[in-house]
Amino acid sequence: MGVGVSTKELRKVYTSPPPMAMGAAGFSMLGARGSAKKAFEIVALDRVSLDIPPGEIFGLLGPNGAGKSTTIGILTTRVRPTGGQAWIGEYDVWRQQVEAKRLIGVVQQRPNLDFALTAREILVFHGAYYGVASAERARRATELLERFQLTERGQRAGAWFFGRHDAAPLDCAGHDARSGSAVSG
């Protein structure tokens, strides 16, 4: 059985440019001769309401800048909304983050963890993300490294595990994507 996803009047306004954009064309905070410009503002989402019933297969489609990643970021608690509400099942994603995260699985398009982390550290990190207790995270990480025959590599850092980075973190978190809802961004 799946879990429903709902948003009501979801809004996100960015009031500062992304760090990499500072000083890039179009993101300067100073006008000619050093005079202050109008405050920076990008409306990424403007009153987005969704009601996705349990078991429904749903995709967010749209051009770059349409708010797809921002919506997923809010639903996975990585981005704080400026206004509105979002729920995973019965849980408000900002008031009940741990409970909401336990109902979803997240597989990013690109790995975003430091390549200096070991496989064990990545497994433990994902377990913590989903609110798994410390001792249980360590036990599950060991169990998964053994199951996937990666014990010897568990202490080795780097990108040697590219192509498998999506499977183990979800399992470590205790989420079975086959029986629950999966949200990917």
pLDDT in tens, 22-75: 444 444 455 555 555 567 888 999 999 999 999 888 888 888 889 998 999 999
Tell me the whole-structure pTM to 2 decimals. Answer: 0.58
Q: Which residues pair with 86 in a beta bridge?
A: 7
Q: Are 109 and 166 in contact (CB under 8 A)?
A: no
Amino acid at 3: V
For residues 111 and 32, state if they share a domain.
Answer: no
- The alpha-helical segments, DSSP class H, found in the chain are 68-75, 97-101, 119-129, 134-147, 167-172
Domain with 155 in it: 105-185
Q: Which residues pair with 43 in a beta bridge?
A: 13
List pLDDT tens digits, range 76-107.
988 999 999 999 999 999 999 989 988 887 76
For residues 74 and 136, state if they share a domain.
Answer: no
How many domains are there within the chain?
2
**CA dist., res. 175 & res. 179, Å (int):** 8
